[in-house]
Amino acid sequence: MTADEHESGAAQQRQAELRAIRDRKGDVRIVPDVEGRYRALGPASRDPFANWLTPVEEHYVLHRHDTPAIDADSWTVSLRGDVDDAELGVEDLRSEYPTVAVPHTMECAGNCRAFFEPKASNVDWEVDGASTAFWTGVPLQSVLDAHGAASADGTWLTAIGGDTATDGDVFARSIPMAKARADCILAFGMNGQPLPEEHGFPVRLLVPGWYGVNSVKWLDELRVMDKMVCGPEWDERRDGEDYYTQWQQRNYRIVPEGEEPSPNESISEFDTWEQLVGDEVAHPYTYDVNVKSVIGYPDEGAEVTPRRDGTVEVLGVAWAGDDEVTTVEVSADGGETWSGARFMEPHFPNAWRLFRFCWEPAPGTYELLSRATDDRGRTQPASIGDPEDGFDALDDDEYPWNQGGYAANAYEPLGVSVTVEKSE
């Protein structure tokens, strides 16, 4: 088989998998992919952002490699490294450890990439790469404690997926042990249902409050280490360049135009925004989610009629990863003036908050914007900067343009244009 034939076959397999997921889920769209390599689907409208819980059928999907064919009865998660070696079956996890349900707003690190100019690489997400679900599984701390895992400061846990690409690279991500023990779970359920195959069946790592790339699907191995996945010893495991390290040390790093990320064995700052504004990490890792808000109703281009009292209800969601959203403001004049919105229940850590704003408009066309502030006083920037500005864009209330289009939270691109009709 020639290289072109191989590539054509892989593209056909990818398209078939995308159509199968779309048909199974229903109310989703296939998201454009610049490279033609990813399986990416998101909700077909903004309806999920006007509700607190995202149905499984509307929850976004993203993965690069083929979904592996898995027999859940024989699947195991291996524990390796500075821990008692073990092979944990799915039934072992269900029967030998406590079970919890964790609400979590999962967001792709590349969400809103479509608004970068010039275009950044990969999947062309608009706002649809974020969803909230209840995840059922086993507290990771229980598993680590039962097998004597190291927990000293500076310890890392590397999660390795069971999906392997046709060119051989393996998906691996490292998270600090402190986060692994704090609130991570080994998930086997989603919104009260068995974990769907496109979401990591039969078991995935779930890292609450952090970008979705860290919640490794089809979990195959957990390795306790004294550093991140880094160095030639990892590449040599499959006798090739970057087979294990690229998804930690090259991809999913916030890198300005014309620069190359340098590998790190360890870091001590895990808040993505603090990495951006600090000096420790030259090219931040996409860990804790940046504060963001999205209007779900009215949808983009909607025509609405005020209620009898002359108001239009604006609904949306706001989230901030490990941090808490403290305020949300709404503007009906493109950001010239702002008014406070009110939060609605429920209220859980690591999950978005539903907000409501009662708007009294006259007939006309408006640009509705929302902006959120977290409990560290950090507010969404207004726009996305130019490539030549680098991280200095932050000084001008702009989110830095970066090669991967990662971790963007500027509010202007997320606004909706709405026409208010005269009330009868």
Question: Positive or negative, the Cα torsion across 137, 142, 144, 150?
Answer: positive
Q: What is the pLDDT of residue 326?
A: 98
Assigned domain for 242 exists: no
Q: Among 357, 311, 302, which Cα is nearest to 45's?
A: 302
| Domain annotation covers residue 37 | no
Residue with the two structure tokens 């908050």:
353
* DSSP 3-state of 268: coil
Does some domain include residue 72?
no
What's the number of CA atoms in the CB half-sphere (13 Å) around residue 197?
16
Whether residue 342 is contained in a domain is answered as yes
d(CA 298, CA 321): 25
* Residue 336 is assigned to a structural domain of this protein: yes
Paired with 418 in beta bridges are: 366
Question: Residue 98 and residue 391: Cα distance in Å, rounded?
Answer: 44
For the segment 351-371, the average pLDDT, to the nearest whole number, is: 97
- Reduced to 3 states (helix: H, G, I; strand: E, B; else coil), residue 371 is strand
Give the pLDDT band of residue 8 (cuts 50, 70, 90). Answer: low
Q: Which residues, 6 or more positions from 384, have their beta carbon under 8 angstroms from its beta carbon?
A: 115, 116, 117, 393, 398, 399, 400, 401, 408, 410, 413
Task: Judge whether 58 and 28 are in contact, CB under 8 Å.
Answer: yes
315 pLDDT band (50/70/90 cuts)? Answer: very high
The mean pLDDT of 314-321, rounded to a whole number, is 98
Tell me: the pLDDT tens digits for 188-208? 999 999 999 999 999 999 999
What gap in Å lies between CA 15 and CA 23, rounded to an integer? 12
What confidence tier does 1 reach under pLDDT thresholds 50, 70, 90? very low
ω before 306 within 30° of 0 (cis)?
no
pLDDT at residue 150 greater than cutoff 90: yes
Q: For 100, phi and psi rounded to 5 degrees? A: -130, 160
Closest CA to 383 of 366, 367, 371: 371
Residue 367 within any structural domain of the chain: yes
pLDDT at residue 101 is higher than 90: yes
Give the closest residue to 298 by CA, choosing from 315, 285, 283, 311: 315
Residue 238 domain-assigned (yes or no): no
Question: Tokens representing 180?
Answer: 């692994």
- Percentage of residues in the chain with pLDDT exceeding 90? 82
Tally of domains in the chain: 1
Q: How far apart are CA 336 and CA 52, in angstroms?
A: 28
Asked if 397 and 382 touch (Cβ cutoff 8 Å), the reply is: yes
pLDDT at 371: 98
Domain assignment present for 401: yes
Closest of 367, 366, 340, 365 to residue 355, by C-alpha? 340
**Structure confidence by residue, pLDDT tens digits, 219-249:** 999 999 999 999 887 865 555 555 789 899 9
Question: In which band, very low, low, confident or very high, does the pLDDT at 185 lie, cut at 50, 70 and 90?
Answer: very high
Look at residue 3 and tell me whether its pLDDT is greater than 80: no
Entry pTM:
0.95
CATH of the domain at 350: 2.60.40.650
Give the pLDDT score at 307: 95
What's the domain range around 357?
A: 292-420
Closest residue by Cα to residue 402 from 272, 315, 292: 272
Place of tokens 């400061």: 153
How many residues are there in the chain? Answer: 424
Dist. CA 213–CA 174, nearest whole Å:
10
Helix, strand, or coil (residue 246): helix
> pLDDT-based confidence at 375, cuts 50/70/90?
very high
Separation of alpha carbons 130 and 292, rounded Å: 11
pLDDT tens profile 22-38? 888 888 899 988 778 88
Q: Which residue has the tokens 């929302």?
A: 370
For 315, 317, 357, the CA distances from 361, given in Å and listed in that order, are: 15, 21, 12
Residue 211 has pLDDT above 50, yes or no: yes
Question: What whole-number distance in Å separates Cα of residue 344 and Cα of residue 47?
Answer: 16
Give whole-number Cα distances, 337 to 30, 305, 389, 405, in Å: 36, 22, 27, 29
Q: What distance in Å separates the CA atoms of residue 317 and residue 148, rounded to the nearest whole number?
A: 40
Range with lowest mean pLDDT among 36-40, 84-88, 138-142, 146-150: 36-40
